[in-house]
Chains A and B, each alone.
Chain A
Amino acid sequence: MDSFIEALFNPAFPFLRNAFIAGILSSVLFGVLGAVVTVKRIAGLAGAISHAVLGGIGMALYLSATKLVPWMSPILGAIIFALLAAIIIGLVSLKAKQREDTVINAVWAIGMSIGVLFMAKTPGYTDPTSYLFGNILLISTRDLVLLAILDAIVVFLTWRFYPQLEASSFDDEFSRVRGIRTDVVFLILLSITAIAVVLLQTFVGIVMVIAMLTLPAGTAGYLARNLAGMMALSWLFATVFSVSGLMVGWTLDIPVGATVVVIAGAVFLGSAGARLIRNHVVKRNNRPTQQISAKEPRIS
């Protein structure tokens, strides 16, 4: 650990400092946006968007390497594909519920396939691994600035529209009756998630982004009393997981993204198990009294 802190402040390792800042900035999105993604139950949609992003990265690498569109950067291609995937998935899930699964899986698979095809035709060697699993060496200052901007947007929108967000997540129909445009809330949320997925994949990779959007929030959900508490706790957990993952990954010289996810997953499964055991015990202790009050109608 000492060596990690030493390295963090060592000017010879600017990428480690960038990775550390990326972890801190990512945690805001993992925590706050992740809590919303979790309670809105759109983790599956976010998963499809994050995988479809590979198509945009592949396309951008191809277009810039072949000089067809020299200024096309991977992050721009990724954002284009992410928003496209978000719009398709969003509209289908609002308009045609019965086809939702098929379309989500199609977007997921087609996006990745396009990425693989473009990369195969890109001149020179392209390795999709760093995009799939994250590579802290690739985090640039521009990525950090974009992350910070998105953090600010997400925190502001959450603060400004908290009651509407809470209500539409808890009971969509009732919110519509109260005049909330829940379809607009949903599409904005999906678009923000799409851009977040692109920015977050530098830290943990395409494949693992969705884990980090759900595991800290899921763990927080076991302890929190309300959505705001869940967001705050989830943020805290995400920060702890990210920093400890970076520290362990650096110290043991293993991939950081995967380490972060494994730590987050272990804590989540541990809390889920603990909760299961606790509920079981509580139920067993309460069983006799509960049955009497539920079954016997009071005749007055």
Chain B
Amino acid sequence: MQKVALRFNEVAFSYGNLAVLEDVSFHIHVGEFIALVGPNGSGKTTVLKLILGLEQPNQGTIEIFEENPRKARDLIGYVPQHASYDPTFPISVQEVVRMGRLLPRSRHYNAADVKAAQEAMEQMEIADLSQRAYSALSGGQRRRVLVARALAANPQLLILDEPTANMDAESESRLFRSLGTLKRSTTILIVTHDMGFVSSLTDRVLCVGDRSHSGRARTVVQHRAEPVENPPPDFFGGEVLKVLHEITLPEDACCADEHHAEENHHG
């Protein structure tokens, strides 16, 4: 059986009296490329915050490489939708990327940190921008800087929040080309409100938003995705899968063999 990178076990979460998530159980195997989709307001961001250890579940457990999310933070690379930054903040691309190696108490970035930042910049094809001011970059370039910042920590699990929002088609296909080179060596989780299509790199689609059994909150289910003819060319460089929201797969579909999964979905 494949190793598990991330596991949600019967997780429930609420903000005060407002139940957001309930009965959330899913897992991601090491090396998988997963899309976590859901409409705005479905609890997607909450799932993300739970994974990042910014919120704690009220019930259930979350394990990242069999660790508590707070302990596993060095294994995670996080790419926010945009850095909540002030456009007048003076900082260079290299300094932003180096931030990926930041530790809670250390005052120094050592030679290994500088090397890792350099490699991450080369990986994301922004090495030539390293001395440029972050504020002078285009939206697509900034996104690649933020991906490089996440990669600088050599993460086992790379999480990207809405990576294609406000991005032009060229930057988008360039980003997914880079992600393609990371596939298998790094577990990748993409969080997006784009419900219809996902990149063809995607192994499985998890969907936040269905009602839980009690009907009070949302839960996470797995949907089937399949290649489409005549895909829209400006999505992910034209290599897309269509998400079939009407077909829900059982939670362990990824662990069972293909034949077993098929049976479940027809039955």
Contact = CB atoms under 8 A, between A and B. Distances in A.
B88 interface: yes
A22 B84 CA distance: 37
A20 B92 CA distance: 36
B168 interface: yes
B86 interface: yes
B103 A179 contact: yes
A179 B73 contact: yes
A13 interface: no
Interface string A149-172: 000000000011111101101111
Q: Is the interface of B mostly helix, strand, loop or mixed?
A: loop
B267 interface: no
Given A39-B86, A174-B80, 15 more contacts: A41-B86, A159-B107, A163-B99, A163-B106, A164-B102, A167-B102, A170-B91, A171-B85, A173-B54, A173-B84, A178-B104, A180-B104, A226-B91, A226-B95, A297-B170
Most buried by A among B70, B84, B88, B149: B88
B89 interface: yes
Contacts of B54: 173, 176-177
A147 B20 CA distance: 50
Contacts of B233: 299
Interface residues of A, number: 38
Contact of A225 (B52, B85, B90, B96): B90
Nearest to A160: B107
Given A170-B99, A225-B133, A177 B53 contact: yes
B133 A178 contact: no
Nearest to B106: A163
B134 to A, nearest CB: 9
A224 B90 CA distance: 6
B107 A297 contact: no
Interface string B44-77: 0000000011100000000000000010010010
B138 interface: yes
23 contacts: A161-B107, A162-B107, A163-B109, A164-B104, A171-B80, A171-B84, A171-B85, A174-B149, A175-B102, A177-B76, A177-B78, A178-B103, A221-B88, A221-B89, A222-B88, A225-B90, A226-B90, A226-B92, A229-B90, A294-B138, A298-B170, A299-B233, A300-B173
A163 B102 contact: yes
A175 B78 CA distance: 10
Interface in A276-300: 294-300
A119 interface: no
